[in-house]
Amino acid sequence: MRKLKNNELERISVADFKSAKKTPIIVVLDNVRSAMNVGSVFRTADAFIIEKIYLCGITATPPNKEIMKTALGANDSVDWEYIKDTKDIIAKLKGKKHHIIGVEQTKNATFLNNFEPLNKKVVLVFGHEVFGVSQEVIDLCDECIEIPQFGTKHSLNISVSVGVVLWEVWQKMN
């Protein structure tokens, strides 16, 4: 077995990414405080050709040194937009009949492994590292999904959560 070199991976260019058919997933970051987590989300969104990221509230935006460090240029490929109030973009996307899903531990949340995406665009909302998705935003969601966990900790790091959820949802859509 031989490790592949980067030039053997046949990745697309940023220009090709911009014109590529996108996975019908939008990511919303609700007051994510760590710019390094934001950069990681960009990089994961690039990996799965996600349509767009909305950065809301206190969430850092490019250009930012810490975002650049972890995004490794994915902030140039993935479309993004800053919206001050998360509730505003959720209401707008809900008006477009997108399926709004909070990734949060709530009463009656669906475990990720049991989640089946509907035949419409999916909006995944991820929240603050300590406080999660705000209750005001949860109240606007169509449903919530939760990553099953079995250890002593209450949650995963947001960048890890985004990776796990995007992979699972991407697989189910493809």
pLDDT tens per residue across span 19-60: 999 999 999 999 999 999 999 999 999 999 999 999 999 999
* Locus of tokens 């995007």: 166
- Residue 29 sits at φ, ψ, to 5 deg, of -105, 115
DSSP state of 20: S
**Model pTM?**
0.96
Q: How far apart are CA 152 and CA 156, in angstroms?
A: 11
Q: What whole-number distance in Å separates Cα of residue 148 and Cα of residue 113?
A: 8
Amino acid, single-letter form, for residue 160: V
Q: Domains (ranges, CATH) in the chain? A: 26-173 (3.40.1280.10)
Rounded to whole angstroms, the Cα distance separating 10 from 26 reads: 25
Tell me the pLDDT tens digit for each residue of 92-149.
Answer: 999 999 999 999 999 999 999 999 998 889 999 999 999 999 999 999 999 999 999 9
